[in-house]
């Protein structure tokens, strides 16, 4: 806790809101707009009142319309929180800069991406746990992220089915 926060709030500092950082390409989709089903399924279950999804991508603003359409078409959370790479800035420095900023503002549960040298390094710099997506088996990484998010109650509660006695 910062000295300023402690002087203003004492021991009653408000908790940071929860967030997750997600890469897009080869993490949520391939070929720009072909969804990775397991990723879409996990993201779609997130309780938007409890956790904010931030997409940190190497895509530039030129890709905004297609990216927004993909997120909306698949009803994914976080469409207002897509961090595009500014023209003239490398994706590695962009991702590092955004990870550090988000870690200051949020309690980031994890960052998930397919490049350890970009998203992984950015996460470590920001002190955020990193989940590496294996392009040949994305389900393992998404299962790990799902486990981490379940630990903080970040999913919408599922209704009990009749066979479960509910």
- 32 C-beta neighbours (distance < 10 Å), count: 12
Number of DSSP helices (H) and strands (E) in the chain, helices first: 6, 7
| CATH of range 16-156; options 3.40.50.1000, 3.40.470.10, 3.30.450.20, 3.40.50.980 | 3.40.50.1000
User: Which residue do the tokens 């905004």 mark?
Assistant: 64
> Using one digit for the tens of pLDDT, what is the confidence trace for 77-130?
999 999 999 999 999 999 999 999 999 999 999 999 999 999 999 999 999 999
Look up residue 86 and give its two tokens.
């500014």
Residue with tokens 């209704």: 159
Residues 14-44 pLDDT 10s: 789 999 999 999 999 998 889 999 999 999 9
Q: Sketch the domain layout of the chain as residue ranges.
A: 16-156
């Amino acid at each position: 806790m910062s000295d300023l926060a402690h002087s203003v709030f004492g021991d009653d500092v408000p908790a940071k809101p929860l967030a997750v950082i997600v890469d897009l390409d080869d993490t949520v989709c391939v070929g720009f707009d072909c969804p990775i089903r397991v990723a879409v399924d996990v993201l779609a279950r997130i309780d938007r009142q409890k956790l904010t999804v931030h997409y940190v991508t190497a895509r530039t603003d030129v890709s905004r319309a297609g990216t927004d359409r993909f997120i909306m078409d698949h009803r994914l959370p976080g469409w207002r929180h897509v961090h595009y790479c500014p023209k003239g800035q490398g994706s590695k420095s962009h991702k590092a800069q955004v990870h550090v900023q988000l870690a200051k503002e949020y309690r980031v549960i994890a960052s998930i991406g397919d490049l350890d040298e970009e998203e992984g390094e950015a996460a470590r710099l920001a002190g955020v746990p990193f989940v590496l997506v294996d392009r040949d088996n994305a389900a393992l990484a998404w299962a790990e992220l799902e486990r981490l998010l379940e630990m903080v109650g970040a999913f919408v509660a599922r209704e009990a089915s009749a066979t479960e006695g509910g």
